Every structure is written in structure tokens, then in C-alpha cells.
């Protein structure tokens, strides 16, 4: 069974939810990315989302877009990222190797490398799925079939502006979990989230048995408490990337430890949020 399926099956049986940090691969360099992923798993993160830098990011706000730009300027390539992940899996503890990892990747990158090559390399690197934000659901079937043959999940996005008929089509074409975008627009930290979000996710839950994980705009304990009752997982991105960028001149190990503490605190909030 895929590690994503294992994770959500276990958490559902325990009435718990997943905290899913996002990291930009290669920002500020891949050695720090490796340190950070290890630290996040050690602090209790349930799934790691790895951003593959792209020159024209889709739906990413200024914080993550800038991190992609920095990584590309330093010459980070997809092959380097996969080798880093491959090494992490080879050297990882049992807990680490039970933790799913997925890539957030533009279809332009998959197309350039070739879907077969990208998926083969992703599978051998120890990834468990991929999120492709610029792949329309109408064009996703072939990639999903190829991914499934390699025991990889193709995770697709539903947004607040997605018509319900189309949301159903996306949910039926998704494997692993549904990525529900909390707000219309781009990624980034927000002080508050839309009040109608709970209702929208509640409706979607009546339409699919897949876990529903919410991302975009989640930056701290208040949003975690707000969304925990309706989500199977919460994705934290810009809040992590910003902390790393702001501490660029500080010792890497110190910054990684602080980000780990931040995620560890959110894990505890999520565990205590109730149903």
C-alpha cells in the first residue's frame, strides 16, 4: 500500500489529522532542505510536500515564488532534488521512511523531462505522489494511469471558485487525497480565512471518501484550530519558507531547529483541536 494511504488510514482510525509542511527544494541549498525535512519529520510532521522550483510558478505567492527563484539561480535541477530525496530515504530512520513525501511540480517540468522519466525518478527517489497545479482535470487521466502503475498518487486541487460539478469531476480523478485551496488567489500567510470555507469542505466531504487536506493561507495556531474539525490534513507552506528566507545569514542548524519547533507546536495544536 502507498504510504499516503497508510497514513490516512491510520489517522482516521485514531480520529487524528495530518500536518503537512511544504519546503522549497534547494532554498537556500539542498543540504539545508535535507536537514529541514529530517527535522520536520522528527517534530511530528505527518507528510512532507516538496516544491520543485519553476521559473513561472502557478498560484504561488511572492514568498514561495521568490524561494523558487533563489533555488533556480543557484542551479538546482530536478535530478539534484531527486538524488537528495533518494539519499534521505536510504539513510532515514524507520519513522522517516514511513512518512510520505509528495512533490508540488508544474506540468511544464514533467512534460520537458517526459512523464515516464519523471515518474520513474520520483518513485525511485522515495516520493509517494505528485501535485500538479497546472494540469487540467480533463488532461489528467493519462498521467494518473502512469502514476498509478508506479504506486504514486496524483493529487489534484479544488478551489473555492471551482463549480460543484467540476469539483466532483476533480475528486473522481484524484488519488491519495484532495488538496482543497482555502482561498481564491495565490499562496501566502493570512490572518483569517473565509467563513464559508467550513461549509464548502463539509459539502465536498459528502461527495468523496478521499481525505481532504486544506492549504493556502494557513500560518499559525488560530487557523489550525479553525480548520481541524473539517480537514483530514492541513498544509503549511509560506510560513515555513518565509522563516527560512528571513534567517538567511544565521547558522542553518539554528534556523532549522526553530522551524522545527514552530511545526512541533502546530502538531500539538492539531492533536488537541478536537473534533
Does residue 28 have a cis bond before it (omega within 30 degrees)? yes
Q: What are phi and psi of 219, to 5 degrees?
A: -135, -5
Report how far residue 199's alpha carbon sits from residue 53's, in angstroms, rounded to the nearest whole number.
33
Report how far residue 78's alpha carbon sits from residue 86's, in angstroms, rounded to the nearest whole number.
12
Q: Report residue 162 as a C-alpha cell.
A: 471551482
Instruction: Please report, for residues 9, 98, 151, 171, 232, the alpha-carbon distance to residue 1 in angstroms, rounded to integers and kept in the order given.
Output: 11, 11, 8, 20, 19
Q: Residue 139 catalytic? A: no
Report how far residue 147's alpha carbon sits from residue 136's, in angstroms, rounded to the nearest whole number.
16
List CB contacts of 212: < 8 A, sequence separation 6 or more: 177, 178, 180, 201, 204, 205, 230, 231, 232, 233
Residue whose C-alpha is closest to residue 125's, from 48, 21, 210: 48
Q: Report residue 78 as a C-alpha cell.
A: 530536478
| Given 14, 27, 29, 49, the catalytic residue | 49
**Burial of 80 by CB count in 10 Å (0-12 exposed, 13-18 middle, 19+ buried)?**
middle
153 within 8 A of 176, measured Cβ to Cβ: yes
| Given 39, 60, 121, 189, the catalytic residue | 60
Q: Residue 60 catalytic? A: yes
For 177, left (φ over 0), alpha (ψ -120 to 50), or beta? beta
Residues composing the chain = 275
Active-site residues, by number, are 49, 60
Amino acid at each position: 500500500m502507498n504510504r499516503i494511504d497508510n497514513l490516512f488510514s491510520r489517522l482516521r482510525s485514531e480520529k487524528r489529522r495530518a500536518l503537512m509542511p511544504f519546503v522549497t527544494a534547494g532554498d537556500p541549498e539542498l543540504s539545508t532542505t535535507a536537514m529541514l525535512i529530517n527535522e520536520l519529520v522528527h517534530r511530528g510532521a505527518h507528510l512532507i510536500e516538496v516544491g520543485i522550483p519553476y521559473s513561472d510558478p502557478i498560484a504561488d505567492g511572492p514568498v514561495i515564488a521568490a524561494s523558487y527563484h533563489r533555488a533556480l539561480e543557484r542551479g538546482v535541477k530536478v535530478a539534484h532534488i531527486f538524488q537528495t530525496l533518494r539519499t534521505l530515504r536510504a539513510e532515514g530512520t524507520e519513522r522517516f521512511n514511513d512518512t510520505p513525501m509528495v512533490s508540488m511540480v508544474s506540468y511544464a517540468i514533467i512534460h520537458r523531462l517526459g512523464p515516464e522519466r519523471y515518474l520513474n525518478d520520483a518513485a525511485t527517489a522515495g516520493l509517494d505522489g505528485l501535485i500538479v497545479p497546472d494540469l487540467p482535470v480533463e488532461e489528467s487521466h493519462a498521467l494518473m494511469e502512469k502514476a498509478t502503475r508506479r504506486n504514486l498518487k496524483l493529487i489534484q486541487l479544488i478551489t473555492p471558485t471551482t463549480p460543484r460539478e467540476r469539483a466532483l469531476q476533480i475528486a473522481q480523478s484524484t488519488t491519495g487525497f484532495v488538496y482543497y485551496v482555502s482561498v481564491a488567489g495565490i499562496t501566502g500567510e493570512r490572518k483569517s480565512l473565509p467563513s464559508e470555507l467550513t461549509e464548502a469542505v463539509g459539502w465536498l466531504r459528502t461527495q468523496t471518501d478521499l481525505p481532504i487536506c486544506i492549504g493556502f493561507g494557513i500560518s499559525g495556531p488560530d487557523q489550525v484550530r479553525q480548520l481541524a474539525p473539517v480537514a483530514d490534513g492541513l498544509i503549511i507552506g509560506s510560513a515555513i519558507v518565509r522563516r527560512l528566507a528571513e534567517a538567511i545569514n544565521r547558522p542553518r542548524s539554528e534556523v532549522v531547529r526553530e522551524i522545527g519547533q514552530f511545526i512541533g507546536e502546530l502538531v500539538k495544536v492539531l492533536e488537541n483541536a478536537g473534533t
